[in-house]
Structure 1
Amino acid sequence: MNKKKFWGITAGVLVVLLIAGGATAYHERHLIRRYLLVHQHYDKPDILSTNQIKLNIRPALSTKNTTATNQLTKTYQHDLQQVKVGPAQAKVVVNPYKTSPLSGLILVKTAQPTRVRLVVHGNRPATTIKQTLPGYRTQHSVGVLGLYAGRANRVTLRFTTKDGQVTRHTYRMTTTKAPKGIGTNTLKTSHPKQMALGQGHTKLTFAVSSQGYTYGLDARGKIRWYSTQKISHVFKELQNHHLLILTKISDSEHKYNALRETDFYGRVYRQYNMNGLFPTRQDPNKLSTNTVIHHDAIELPNHNLLLTVDDGSKKFVEDTMIELNYKTGKIVKVIDLKRILPKSAYTQYDGTHRPDGKIDWFHQNSMVYDQKRDELIVSGRNQDMIFAINYKTTKLKWILAAPEKLPKSYQKYLLQPTNKHFRYNGGQHAVQLIHQSQHPGDKIELEFYDNNVPVTRGKTAQSKQWSAGEIVTINQLKKTVTKTWEFGQRLGKRNFTNIVGSSYAVGKGNTLIGFGYADWGKRSEFVEVNRKTKQIVFDVDRTHFAHGDWSYRAQRMSLYPGTGSLTLKQITN
């Protein structure tokens, strides 16, 4: 046998052994992981250890979608270099990143450095979107947002040189029809001059899905943005003006276990995939796939992400938070609410029941961080409770809830109402901090959506008769609470929602309320109301959508946050 043949056979044998060894090692690691998931480690009865929670969730950075969209960016960078000078020579792209059909990109060169003004023509002046790009340049990558679905849209670019010479060119951008799954949006009221639409009418009303289509409506109730990516609950603007969404790792997945940093064009900047393989209640030796992040995610001042999660317990759900390192995707802090709230709250809970048998005793649905005080304010539907903790120590600061079923040792944290006939919140959602006094220990103002459906405490004669947006002022030194505004009672049972909902101050003294589960989930309604006059200035009914895809929240957001359009810097970086 010659040497060449010998070494060839030897190399082949080594490859086979390495593959077999690698497969065996992978299989062994897989079995060890399953063992650790089934035989969970507890610090005390019902309370998982922090390390066990980290093992259960196991976030991992994924580069698949980032790489794919970066490749598209490189293509557009090359295309821009190839474009000939002159507005009429521009290259026009619709849906540049393949998941945002009502977005576009215009690649154009000018002979002299110019500043670009973008106009997306609407049906009316109030629905015409205008945006000026920063700086003067000769190569322009103009991001276009706010196109209508199923039509040839007119988009005009105005080019202004440094000496004031102006030229204009209008482009046609043809889009496909919006998916039927979005449902029917029926405009009931619209007073655009009184709405908070932002400069250039760039702000839309976004219907954030529970599990399905998230989309944005203009002042006339027309769809001007949507994503083809199914989204569940989380749709937030980050400090860098990107979007944070909760979606699926792949289209074939049933659960939503991908937390993605993206933008309105669909470009992916970062993605964290969650494990979600947890023991079942019926048979702890059996593992099943679960959604890890469920209702909310916020960005902390250090850019880390705080997430509401299922922690992998075989018994409890939706009662834990994790802080995720933004750069590495590692869990750096775990907050288990069973370590903070009364033991009786989770061991004696019988307010709701789940098909999988797990106990949803708290059902955390929102949180907001108070940077001035280093406090975290948390809302839990199934305890009818909003409370604050010191973020560093997790020590309780105060509780907003009716006193029923609250142990004596926790009564000292209760806020005392100053209103004569104070109605406690029941099953509330979407708590937001909207105002702070200058003194760290003094007053804060909170807005939230009160479903008015007490689950554990605070039942009144008015329960389940309506739902409402509410604002309260909390004096943290005196431990008092004063209700200063609410709206929803006059809408009656038609707008009572047993679950979901939101209430957000949006500017101009207005609040946008999302009655997401009206008519027991058959309808969602978005109402913008002036808090002083109680006049409704915008009202849209959403119907004919898939079961489970009711609108979890209604949010007013700008299509062009921060610097505005998709700029040359974004394209080339």
Structure 2
Amino acid sequence: MLVLGGATAYHERHNIRRYLLVHQHYTKKDVLATSQIKLNLRPALSTKHTTATNHLTAKYQKQLKALPTGTTHAQTIVNPYQTSPLSGLILVKTPHATKVRLTVHGTTPATTIHQTVSGYRTAHSIGVLGLYANRNNRVTLTFTTKRGTVTHHTYQLKTTKVPHGIGRNTLKTSHPQQMALGQGHTKLTFAVSSQGYTYGLDARGKIRWYSSLKISHVFKELSNHHLLILTKIAPTEHKYNALQETDFYGRVYRQYNFSGLFPTRQDTSKLATNTVIHHDAIELPNHNLLLTVDDGSKKFVEDTMIEIDRQTGKIQKVIDLKRLLPASAYQQYTGTHRPDGKVDWFHQNSMTYDKKRDELVVSGRNQDMIFAINYKTTKLKWILAAPEKLPQSYQKYLLKPTTKNYRYNGGQHAVQLIHQDQHQGDSVELEFYDNNVPVTRGKTAQSKQWSAGEVVTINQLKRTVTKTWEFGQSLGQRNFTNIVGSSYAVGRGNTLIGFGYADSGKRSEFVEVNRKTNRVVFDVDRTHFAHGDWSYRAERLSLYPSDQTLKLTRINP
């Protein structure tokens, strides 16, 4: 009877939820109630993969404990957490407490990776990152005692081929001495997938890391040096509805699952599964996560953000852009069309948080607009966009160009703050990737002739904008990208530009250029990849962002 009663209650709750999803609650025309959005999205913590991580960790702990002492008795494991095929683990015991320096041998000095593990111990679990695919990799550990005695031992870690769908990477230019590779050459150029394989390239354009998980859009380093990725709840799923906190070894610390069951536009009485998080996710100063989402509307997509509690996954804040921008922008939008009939009037593709001012800077492709809001109040601060089709009541927020013949951004991506004036407190440097494909406003004779990485200085007090750098015009139509793309400062005065949708999506190109000289110091073409898996962004991240490699410690889900 208890089982029967429990099953009945479950079905009643299920039916009630479906009813509430179909009969949605609006506060005004086309604007969902905040409570309805929370119901639609309903993130839930999943401990499945964290538990699997802990089981593997316990296994390796036992293996380390059982090992005899001596560097020749070490145990090597490739892909220890099963989703990072070019990672490894070396378990070894030494008779005396030592610190360890790891060397993953590359084909050149610039592709040889070095990392020192802090602390002296006799039982070592050395995580290895940066292996080559389909190779018997040489990895040397250098052991140093507190008295300064040094010994070395080289181990072999054999890896398998990369998946065919990754495609072909062709090196065009490489000047490692001018690249931002980090101490120990631990930084790789990561091709972040739109929907497929995300991987990292070394200075010679060789793959040194990839995830066997399919990843879509989101691949970010968090303040604790973990990774935040958007993947599938199960490999057989069509949609990407699992937001996972992981690392380069594939250990899972947290996972938030989203249902994505929304009304269809053609028949709102029917529900279909959608991808909830679509383009971006960032960590806020309180360590909560801010996500770009579909809010479950029967009519609109990609125009809402939610802040979720990092510990519980519960939604703490909802920002519906229809409440901030002109009603005409979404009610009269005709710039693009979707097969499902829903209206993608804003198409938010990135955001960045200004800690100094508690402001959020947002990019919307289909409005050709970048704007800032006060995060607490969600009040508009400024708008960077051409003035066409913007109602008079919003004109006061527009930034005024100081650059002669200023060309406004069109269909831009990957907005990021790279410098804040600590003295005046009124200027910021903003970088972004300008696709140069106006959708709603700002069309010029130069539109669609090239795409470019750009840097502008914004004076928030005077409400002015000055263009200080751009690169891409000299590459011309060949590197014009109608969609996707990125431009990030990576150190040493360099910017890494990802031309993700070149040649109508048949090619992606990653270019590192010095902003002072405009000299290209790294250039790779990517071709022959699976359809739809163009590189959404190109990022430069370190495989070893801290002084630790891998700790065999249990993760609390």
Change in CA separation of 1:148 and 1:570 when aligned onto 2, cut-off 3 Å: farther
Runs of at least 4 residues off by over 4 Å: 568-573
Residues in 1 aligned to 2:442 and 2:409: alpha-carbon distance in whole angstroms: 8
Any conservation in 2 of the 1:373–1:441 contact (CA below 8 Å)?
no
**Paired position in structure 1 for 2:500:** 516
Residues in 2 aligned to 1:417 and 1:319: alpha-carbon distance in whole angstroms: 27
My pick for the range that moved more, 435-444 or 412-421, is: 435-444
Matched, 1:550 2:534: yes
Q: Which whole-Å deviations, capped at 9, do the CAs of 1:211-256 have from their partners, x for residues lacking one? A: 0000000000000000000000000000100000000000010000
Task: Specify every segment of 5 or more residues in structure 1 that has no aligned partner in the other structure, as ranges.
Answer: 1-16
Residues in 2 aligned to 1:90 and 1:568: alpha-carbon distance in whole angstroms: 16
Counterpart among 444, 451, 454 of residue 460 in structure 1 = 444
**Paired position in structure 2 for 1:63:** 47
Residues in 2 aligned to 1:456 and 1:254: alpha-carbon distance in whole angstroms: 31
Counterpart among 157, 172, 183 of residue 173 in structure 1 = 157
Alignment-mate amino acid for residue 67 of structure 2: V
Determine what percentage of the aligned residue pairs are the same residue: 81
Alignment-mate amino acid for residue 364 of structure 1: Q
Q: Which whole-Å deviations, capped at 9, do the CAs of 1:471-506 have from their partners, x for residues lacking one? A: 000000000000000000000000000000000000
Counterpart among 9, 22, 25 of residue 9 in structure 2 = 25
Residues in 1 aligned to 2:424 and 2:542: alpha-carbon distance in whole angstroms: 31
Q: Which whole-Å deviations, capped at 9, do the CAs of 1:511-535 have from their partners, x for residues lacking one? A: 0000000000000000000111111
Counterpart among 122, 134, 155 of residue 118 in structure 2 = 134
SS across alignment from 1:135: strand
**Paired position in structure 1 for 2:247:** 263
**Paired position in structure 1 for 2:319:** 335
- For 1:350-389, list aligned pairs within 5 A: 350-389=334-373
- For 1:152-191, list aligned pairs within 5 A: 152-191=136-175
SS across alignment from 1:426: coil
TM-superposed CA distance for 1:22, in Å, is: 1.5
Task: Specify every segment of 5 or more residues in structure 2 that has no aligned partner in the other structure, as ranges.
Answer: none
Alignment-mate amino acid for residue 124 of structure 1: T
Q: Which whole-Å deviations, capped at 9, do the CAs of 1:163-220 have from their partners, x for residues lacking one? A: 1100000000000000110000000001111100000000000000000000000000
**Paired position in structure 1 for 2:476:** 492
Counterpart among 448, 462, 472 of residue 432 in structure 2 = 448
Counterpart among 49, 67, 71 of residue 87 in structure 1 = 71
TM-superposed CA distance for 1:87, in Å, is: 0.8
Alignment-mate amino acid for residue 336 of structure 1: D
Counterpart among 461, 484, 508 of residue 477 in structure 1 = 461
Change in CA separation of 1:283 and 1:439 when aligned onto 2, cut-off 3 Å: farther
SS across alignment from 2:328: helix
Residues in 1 aligned to 2:346 and 2:133: alpha-carbon distance in whole angstroms: 41
Q: Which whole-Å deviations, capped at 9, do the CAs of 1:256-310 have from their partners, x for residues lacking one? A: 0000000000000000000100000000000000000000000001100000000
TM-superposed CA distance for 1:444, in Å, is: 0.3
- For 1:534-545, list aligned pairs within 5 A: 534-545=518-529
Counterpart among 41, 45, 51 of residue 29 in structure 2 = 45
**Paired position in structure 2 for 1:505:** 489
**Paired position in structure 1 for 2:217:** 233
Alignment-mate amino acid for residue 409 of structure 2: N
Matched, 1:277 2:277: no
Any conservation in 1 of the 2:50–2:555 contact (CA below 8 Å)?
no
SS across alignment from 1:144: strand
Counterpart among 521, 525, 528 of residue 512 in structure 2 = 528
**Paired position in structure 2 for 1:6:** none
Residues in 2 aligned to 1:174 and 1:539: alpha-carbon distance in whole angstroms: 29
Q: How many residues align?
A: 557
Alignment-mate amino acid for residue 426 of structure 1: G
Alignment-mate amino acid for residue 550 of structure 1: W
Residues in 2 aligned to 1:530 and 1:370: alpha-carbon distance in whole angstroms: 25
Q: Which whole-Å deviations, capped at 9, do the CAs of 1:420-451 have from their partners, x for residues lacking one? A: 11000000000000000115740000000000
Residues in 1 aligned to 2:422 and 2:381: alpha-carbon distance in whole angstroms: 19
Q: Which whole-Å deviations, capped at 9, do the CAs of 1:95-114 have from their partners, x for residues lacking one? A: 00000000000011111110
TM-superposed CA distance for 1:418, in Å, is: 0.2
Residues in 2 aligned to 1:117 and 1:68: alpha-carbon distance in whole angstroms: 29
SS across alignment from 1:483: strand
SS across alignment from 1:397: strand
Residues in 1 aligned to 2:115 and 2:422: alpha-carbon distance in whole angstroms: 35
SS across alignment from 2:37: helix
In terms of Rg, which structure is larger?
A: 1
Any conservation in 2 of the 1:399–1:413 contact (CA below 8 Å)?
yes
Task: Give the CA RMSD over aligned residues.
Answer: 1.1
Residues in 1 aligned to 2:64 and 2:393: alpha-carbon distance in whole angstroms: 67
SS across alignment from 2:275: coil
Change in CA separation of 1:572 and 1:310 when aligned onto 2, cut-off 3 Å: closer
TM-superposed CA distance for 1:563, in Å, is: 2.5
TM-superposed CA distance for 1:20, in Å, is: 1.6
TM-superposed CA distance for 1:567, in Å, is: 3.2
Any conservation in 2 of the 1:379–1:385 contact (CA below 8 Å)?
yes
Counterpart among 195, 199, 203 of residue 219 in structure 1 = 203
Alignment-mate amino acid for residue 271 of structure 1: Q
Counterpart among 269, 278, 281 of residue 294 in structure 1 = 278
TM-superposed CA distance for 1:23, in Å, is: 1.4
**Paired position in structure 2 for 1:4:** none
Alignment-mate amino acid for residue 418 of structure 1: T
TM-superposed CA distance for 1:570, in Å, is: 7.2
Any conservation in 1 of the 2:105–2:111 contact (CA below 8 Å)?
yes
Residues in 1 aligned to 2:242 and 2:24: alpha-carbon distance in whole angstroms: 24
Any conservation in 2 of the 1:372–1:440 contact (CA below 8 Å)?
no
SS across alignment from 1:123: coil
Residues in 1 aligned to 2:424 and 2:395: alpha-carbon distance in whole angstroms: 23
SS across alignment from 1:134: strand
**Paired position in structure 1 for 2:381:** 397
Matched, 1:434 2:428: no
SS across alignment from 1:133: strand
**Paired position in structure 2 for 1:205:** 189
Any conservation in 2 of the 1:140–1:567 contact (CA below 8 Å)?
no
Alignment-mate amino acid for residue 282 of structure 2: I
Any conservation in 2 of the 1:133–1:567 contact (CA below 8 Å)?
no
- For 1:113-132, list aligned pairs within 5 A: 113-132=97-116
Any conservation in 1 of the 2:253–2:555 contact (CA below 8 Å)?
no
Any conservation in 1 of the 2:253–2:556 contact (CA below 8 Å)?
no
Any conservation in 2 of the 1:147–1:153 contact (CA below 8 Å)?
yes
TM-superposed CA distance for 1:564, in Å, is: 3.2
TM-score of the aligned structures, taking structure 2 as reference length: 0.99
Q: Which whole-Å deviations, capped at 9, do the CAs of 1:445-471 have from their partners, x for residues lacking one? A: 000000000000000000000000000
Residues in 2 aligned to 1:546 and 1:349: alpha-carbon distance in whole angstroms: 32
Any conservation in 1 of the 2:116–2:547 contact (CA below 8 Å)?
no
Residues in 1 aligned to 2:507 and 2:131: alpha-carbon distance in whole angstroms: 26
**Paired position in structure 2 for 1:308:** 292
Q: Which whole-Å deviations, capped at 9, do the CAs of 1:105-163 have from their partners, x for residues lacking one? A: 00111111101000000011110000000011111100000000001000000000011
